[in-house]
Structure 1
């Protein structure tokens, strides 16, 4: 699947029932393909959010800054969870799925411009919810190629209702 010049990995994990999601707690969902965080992506995010701080959008000034280069906004790095999640898991027989929120968002390391990142997923919790659904928490770690620490770790929470 290709979108905005990014080829998306086909997920290897597929859920088709509440029971399947509940049984997956503790499962490693693997990782996505790498993508490059370009200055164009950073600038587009700055335009969308109005956050034009020089550490993000001024390459010349950023060279002498604390990171030695421009860095992605933390919230840009967080937003990549939305790109990575459907590459880690897919659903069959899903009537409806909604984003319920996030827990425990952390930014352990900066993502420098032109870094390659990928998402790694793990099902950390699941519980039945009213209406024959399931609430699932998937931890997404935005790994930075060659770095010891991820750029972001977020527990995403979704509510899923199957046929």
Structure 2
């Protein structure tokens, strides 16, 4: 993640930070996620059966799309130059809007909503994120993402 001064980061509150690079969500990634989470529902791993559903193909797990936020954030989120480490603090208002079909590409759009002190030496950053699916009108998901920065 890019590094900036705390003042520079605070100045971006309320403003879009930009979009990440595109990430392909291929069947190998979907199957690996199914194996990692023991979620082998046919709509994720059986192309023939999934083709018979309204989706028309296999789709990524919603939680797979959500888990890609960390990779997407590396392209656009900033951390204070005083940061010792950053951790996920949680998510608010997560909504899975549209399925990500196998082979599609996604990218995240981030807006910094707030920078608050959580405790001495801890900053809480809140971002709104929307995950776009290339070539589709509706996003894969929207969420408010909370990150805790230790300074």
Report the TM-score when normalising by structure 1. Answer: 0.85
The count of corresponding residues between Structure 1 and Structure 2 is 150
Q: Contact conserved, 1:133 with 1:160, CA < 8 A, in 2?
A: yes
Shift of 1:73: 0.4
Q: 1:40 aligns with which of 28, 31, 51?
A: 28
Residue 119 of structure 1: how far off its partner (Å): 1.0
In the aligned structure 2, how far is the partner of 1:131 from the partner of 1:95?
13
Structure 2, unpaired ranges of 5+ = none
- Per-residue deviation at 1:98? 2.1
Structure 1 unaligned runs (5+)? 1-10
Q: 1:21-100 residue pairs with structure 2 within 5 A?
A: 21-91=9-79, 92-100=81-89
Paired with 2:47 and 2:115, the residues of 1 have a C-alpha distance of 43
RMSD in angstroms over aligned alpha carbons? Answer: 1.6
Deviation of 1:41 (Å): 0.3
Which shows bigger deviation, 109-118 or 128-137? 128-137
Q: Secondary structure at the match of 2:28?
A: helix
TM-score using structure 2 length: 0.91
Choose 56-65 or 132-141, whichever is displaced more: 132-141
